[in-house]
Chains A and B, each alone.
Chain A
């Protein structure tokens, strides 16, 4: 009668089916979404950018490995395989000046992985976005290499540094030649403002929005092409990796005050387009502020969080002493995440918002 032998090895709780989503798949999709913009940045900024990216990623993996080893985690390969460290490194690399020396990447990786993540207990336990912790720590500790932007020299142009030259730039930390040194748009605007000049005139030449979309301008790897980053972000939305709340709220938080400021006083306030298309705005809205671990869990919470990030970015850019404020804004809102979560809990079915059971409705005819 028995066509098969079956004995359950262990009792298992329901459900006995799974939707198929996996942490590694999610991470892979984010990396896939970053690839076009990153590849384009390599082409724009040449070999040094590639080397810096490679070193940052490698260092992140190495520090993750060392941390897991020291903590005695049993399945190091599997944990490394979830590629969260890789993604952290990737995001950090995208926020660095493309020609920054190798040690910037390595120190950044150490701060991100060891101090930003593993010290808190590893994946899922950190309060602050590790890549942003590293970025801010680097910016404050080493302001010079972190603000040396270069004009793009696409790989195909003759003046672009070759493979060996690129290695020298990254490894020997040669400062870029003066002819190539440039300022990012936000930095330029800040300088012009502090010199007392009028933004309308200062920006009249050379900073057309089209350039921002395409990305042929000075800046970090990740602020090169708004268009490609946007495409990556839309891919994440389409595949359900992220929800629309945070990106939309970040843009709203940034664009609305920018629009008001610019309308009132265009000489002192940058407009919506330069704000949204410059700096880390697009990268931040889609890839950094949406970090699961450090952002709120409910839809209303995510809206509040996103608006906070956008608004704080605008405030820091406009009134702060740094030209770019995305990293600071993200960290500040990370700190608020537990509180936002606390006050935006969903209403439980059959209960009031305060958690009391709903009243039993008075019965008709009873």
Chain B
């Protein structure tokens, strides 16, 4: 980071209006359990969970509803007590609105926990036990990527990481759920961090918090005061500071290689919300069945943070929050920079839902796309050092190879380029489209490759069979010929009257 870096291009990212207050300063509310919950089976990265309950079955809060399926997956638990009334498809909380499998749970109003058991002295247990317990609680990364937390913990232990980077950056505008959680439950988070340190074998934890959250920084500093190996590190507020590669570089100075993981530089990154969930899972045995969600946006009457049972419909959350002032121009799940636009409000809250935004037309600022004027504002904004305008140009010309060469695969879809573009070019849409095209092409290539291999092995087999047949035929022919050749001497006498010796 010399003068050259300062002058030439490491001034990455953007400084958007954060819109975090007043939502961040409003007292956290807890939403009562609605009559019916729709618990999606795809709340994590990886394969959907496999239901282990039957329709009509009564469950208690925290009981397991579905098992993880495959290596990357997570268990799902009942967010309240009640009766399973259906296992079927509902619209997914995704722009496509495509159906997703979900378990419908009719609440009995008691909200009674199952018998749960916490660990009194988890630090006496081997690290693998902690990971196991975290896996049993169905904890996933709550920053948004929803990668199964237990898997990340055990992989980090195997990779022998030394530093645990805790992401409390929350660089997305509008969102304040991590901020609120750090203010309200700093002690629980710090305890969770301690547990994660134990589980990963890392020797220090660096908690990165953007300096626009002074209350959270103070609360965390106080909670971690007695633990010198947990350092609270204020970082400059800048989007996307909460992105893994950027935060690791900011806190540790290590640059993660393009094809590598944080583990390659001895680091593992977890969200502060995940630390809270780990604390809950280990200390009380409570699985992840509710999460803190920011409800915000110009159309929300009383913006704030709400603890919501997983499976609650977005429209119910909005109603509990105090309803809307006006019909929103766009409903978004997550932050405005990387969140997903929702097709409708009757979709359930999932583990990765950090926010529900009801944005007004003025906030969305929808504009028609104009031609690129090569102003290169996007180049200055890109945190990865890419040339978004060149990538878009290649994609427009259907030149995927060119786009990959200009860095398409390094794009983290943070949206900085599209945010600053004066021509309102939907750059992220171009890149997502191209990435989709690319993976489709790669799948097609794999398919063709396997077809080719199959055809090749079939041809080889046929050839081998034909050769074997021919060889067998030749062998038989040779045998016959040999026999035929041998006959005049050995067999010819048989045609003759028996030798006298035979009768002799």
Contacts and interface: CB of A to CB of B under 8 A. Distances in A.
B389 A297 contact: yes
Interface string B400-425: 00000101001001010011111110
B208 interface: no
B9 interface: yes
B332 A1 contact: no
Contacts of A8: 95, 330-331, 341-344
A361 interface: yes
A129 B227 CA distance: 62
Interface residues on A, range: 35 or more
The listed residue with most B CB atoms (<10 A of its CB), out of A7, A18, A366, is A18
B245 A292 contact: no
Given A6-B328, A8-B341, A346-B385, A15 B415 contact: yes
B429 interface: yes
B410 A4 contact: no
Contacts of A292: 373-376
A366 B160 contact: yes
A229 B494 CA distance: 125
B108 interface: no
Interface stretch (B250-258, B441-449, B480-488): B250-258
B359 interface: yes
B30 interface: no
Contacts, number: 205
Interface stretch (A151-159, A186-194, A201-209, A352-360): A352-360
Contact of A360 (B249, B257, B331, B390): B257
B51 interface: no
Given A78-B368, A299-B9, A14 B260 contact: no
B498 to A, nearest CB: 88
Contact of A5 (B259, B323, B327): B327
A19 B16 contact: yes
A14 B379 contact: no
A265 to B, nearest CB: 35
A124 B328 CA distance: 35
Nearest to B359: A16
A2 interface: yes
Contact of B357 (A12, A16, A360): A16
Nearest to A300: B8
Nearest to B393: A124
A242 to B, nearest CB: 9
The listed residue with most A CB atoms (<10 A of its CB), out of B14, B373, B389, B418, is B373
A315 interface: no
The listed residue with most A CB atoms (<10 A of its CB), out of B264, B368, B372, B422, is B422
Interface in B340-397: 340-345, 357, 359, 363-368, 370-377, 379-380, 383-387, 389-390
A348 B410 contact: yes
Contact of A3 (B318, B359, B377, B386): B318
Contacts of B192: none
Nearest to A16: B336
Contact of B245 (A11, A15, A350): A350
B374 A18 contact: no
A69 interface: no
Contact of A349 (B160, B173, B384, B405): B384
- What secondary structure prevails in chain B residues at the interface with A? loop
A54 interface: no
A13 interface: yes
Given A6-B328, A6-B345, A345 B336 contact: no
Contacts of B413: 14
Given A14-B413, A22-B424, A365-B160, A6 B258 contact: no
B88 to A, nearest CB: 21
B428 interface: yes
Nearest to B324: A4
B7 interface: yes
A300 B379 CA distance: 12
A22 B419 contact: no
B376 A298 contact: yes
B500 to A, nearest CB: 92
Given A7-B344, A292-B375, A13 B428 contact: yes
Nearest to A240: B377
A346 B376 CA distance: 12
A21 B420 contact: yes
Contacts of B260: 350, 357-358, 360
B371 to A, nearest CB: 4
A357 B330 CA distance: 39
Contact of B332 (A16, A300, A351, A366): A16
B8 A299 contact: yes
A77 interface: no
B306 interface: no
Nearest to A337: B374
A20 B422 CA distance: 7
18 contacts: A8-B331, A8-B342, A12-B366, A16-B364, A18-B424, A22-B367, A84-B373, A123-B373, A295-B374, A297-B387, A350-B255, A350-B257, A350-B410, A351-B410, A357-B258, A358-B255, A358-B258, A364-B266
Given A124-B374, A292-B375, A349-B246, 12 more contacts: A3-B323, A13-B426, A14-B415, A15-B336, A15-B428, A16-B332, A16-B363, A18-B365, A20-B365, A299-B7, A346-B9, A361-B264
